[in-house]
Structure 1
Amino acid sequence: MTLAASGFLTIDGAQLEYRLIGPQPSDAPCIVLLHEGLGSVGLWGDFPDKLQAATGASVFAYSRAGYGASSPVTLPRPLDYMQREAREVLPTLLDAIGFQRGLLVGHSDGASIAAIYAGSRADHRLDGIVLIAPHVIVEDVSVSAIAAIKTTYETTDLPARLARWHKDVDNAFRGWNGAWLDPAFRSWDITTELAYIRVPVAVIQGVDDQYGTARQVEIIQEECYCPVEVAMLPKVGHSPHREAPEATLRVIAEFAAATLPAPVSQT
């Protein structure tokens, strides 16, 4: 199957929008981008293009069901929605795009999904994972920030601003926000999966992340038996790839050069 530069894939009964930069995933090492809890293909901006230029790898981004122009989901989302994405959807998607070797690069929810996938499957094609602002447990600061953004969503023009990135804004927002604010979600914990990761890990964390503390990084270092590289970026919040794109690209490019099976160029 030859992928167009953009389009839709039917995965698990859903139409998922995607964007591909560079070679086919079947022909070159591929970096698969997994977006945040309110993210989409579009919200990555030009980061995928810069990442492709910095690494020489194929870069594939997609919007999970309920986000971007992808099919909506039934609400409320199940509280194990990240585990389901990692164990049921992502394996099928990687097969569908012809993924042969490469990295998972995830941000926030996407980072958690990458960690769950790596810790749940012995996928010989996976050479490493990059976790940008990951969550492995639920912290008070996370819940407080997510509760605050719910108020913002209900009292400001945030829905109109998000409409630029999501076909069904309410489906995207309520699915993510409702799960995180469910009292039962406080017990969500993926530390068990961390112990089973068998590929190198790079963590990129903003020192001023409003959605998580350095404790998330510490747990990853404590629980993983594989090599873990950490980049703590000063004066950076929850979105290092937007707030400090050059530093974030540098970390990923150096990690890709060290882990991907074929040489990659760096800018």
Structure 2
Amino acid sequence: MIDLQTREHWIGTAQGKLFAQEWRPLRAEGAPIVLLHDSLGCVALWRDFPAQLAHATWHRVIAYDRLGFGRSDAHPGRLRLGFVEDEALQGFTALRAYFGITDFFVFGHSVGGGMAVACAAAFASQCRGVVIESAQAFVEARTLEGIRAADQQFAGPGQLQRLERYHGSKAEWVLRAWVDNWLAEAFAGWNLDAVLPHVRCPLLSLHGDNDEFGSAAHPERLVALAGGPATMRLLHGCGHVPHREQAEQVLAEVSQFLN
């Protein structure tokens, strides 16, 4: 095991403070890896994965809570159409400025995968590589079915408390930001088709064959439309959270990709 330095940070923005955490090997190598969480996620819900990733790759790993999530400040309003692409120029840009990051790798899970694609496209000359895990490339019926099922589950007694453990009083906003945006009629035509050709760096798409929020059509489309070299790995017997369900496989794939 390599030694890691772990630090917490607060990043000021015009809309509020963002919480970030970094895991730095004592002899960190290469550009940092920035993690972008899923629709209900936050830094804490990455659990041990950031430390495992830093150990496996020798790269500094940075994760942050988007505005409205986790330990970051509450969002002042509702997410607007285009929020996936806009994160590249909002929280992600604030994080890069705070840490003085030039070149970077980006790793995004679920909707964070779409945001990672947007970051790689917006900063094509600085992004060294993008890893997307369980990412959605468009609005699929399977995705919407999974969201409706989750919404019904969270309506049960005590279920919202699961989110309150990580998001506090923002939990209801977090849930509605996910469900209401994805199920909105205005969002039905959303996709990453126009963004993907601007991704010039290598791209790795990891996707479980049992992902309840998206079929293999997503990684296939992501890889087909990316503007740079792109590879997909379909993980057998895996659901929507590969970094938790098949952590060793994910770490091996990412390490090989970075090398």
> What is the TM-score of this pair, normalised by structure 2?
0.92
Q: Is the 8 A contact 2:220 2:232 kept in 1?
A: no
**Matched positions, count:** 253
SS at match of 1:195: helix
Identity %: 29
Q: What secondary structure sits across from 2:188 in the alignment?
A: helix
CA offsets per residue over residues 130-152 of structure 1, 9 Å max, x none?
00011110000111111111111
Q: Corresponding residue for 2:75?
A: 73
Post-superposition offset of 1:241: 0.4
Contact 1:17 1:69 in 2 (8 A): yes
Name the counterpart of 1:164.
Answer: 165
- Quote the offset at 1:76 in angstroms: 3.0
Structure 1 partner of 2:145: 144
Partners of 2:6 and 2:23 within 8 A in 1: no
- Aligned counterpart, 1:131: 132
Q: Deviations over 1:81-116 (max 9, x none)?
A: 112212333123212211132310000111000101
2:24 equivalent in structure 1: 22
Partner of 1:220: 222
CA pair 43-4 structure 1, distance change in 2 beyond 3 A: closer
- Report Cα offsets for 1:164-184 as digits up to 9, x if no partner: 211221121111221111111
- Residue type of the alignment partner of 1:251: E
3-state SS of the aligned residue for 2:240?
Answer: coil
Q: Distance in 2 between matches of 1:202 and 1:28?
A: 18
Task: Output the CA distance in 1 between the equivalents of 2:247 and 2:51.
Answer: 12
Q: 1:245 to 1:154 in 2, by over 3 A?
A: same
CA positional deviation for 1:231: 1.2
For structure 2, list consecutive stretches of 5 or more residues without a partner in the other structure.
none
- Structure 2 SS opposite 1:187: coil
Instruction: Give 1:221's aligned amino acid.
Output: V
Check the 8 A contact 1:111/1:134 in 2, yes or no.
yes
* Partner of residue 109, structure 1: 111
Q: Contact (CA 8 Å) 2:6, 2:24: kept in 1 or not?
A: no
Code of the residue aligned with 1:113 in structure 2: it is M
- Please list the CA deviations of residues 233-256 of structure 1 after superposition, one character each: whole Å capped at 9, or x if unmatched: 001011000111110111111111
The whole-number CA distance in structure 1 between the counterparts of 2:104 and 2:254 is: 12
* Change in CA separation of 1:204 and 1:155 when aligned onto 2, cut-off 3 Å: same
Report the 3-state secondary structure (helix = DSSP H, G, I; strand = E; otherwise coil) of the residue aligned with 1:180.
helix
Paired residue secondary structure (2:224): helix
Structure 1 Cα separation of the partners of residues 187 and 201 of structure 2:
28
Amino acid at match of 1:93: L
Assess if the C-alpha contact under 8 Å between 2:67 and 2:91 holds in 1. no
Q: Could you tell me how far apart the structure 1 residues matched to 2:146 and 2:18 are?
A: 28
TM-score (norm 1): 0.90
Measured after TM superposition, the shift of residue 28 of structure 1 is 4.9
Report how far residue 27 of structure 1 moved: 8.3
Match of 2:10 among 8, 23, 35: 8
Q: Which has the higher contact order (CA 8 A, sep 6+)?
A: 1
Structure 1: gaps of 5 or more residues:
258-267
Aligned to 1:261: none
Alignment partner, residue 246 of structure 2: 244
Alpha-carbon distance in structure 2 between the residues aligned to 1:142 and 1:75:
25
Does 2:39 correspond to 1:42? no
Does the 8 Å contact 1:77/1:176 carry over to 2? no
- RMSD value, Cα: 1.8
| Contact 1:102–1:128 (Cα < 8 Å) also in 2 | yes
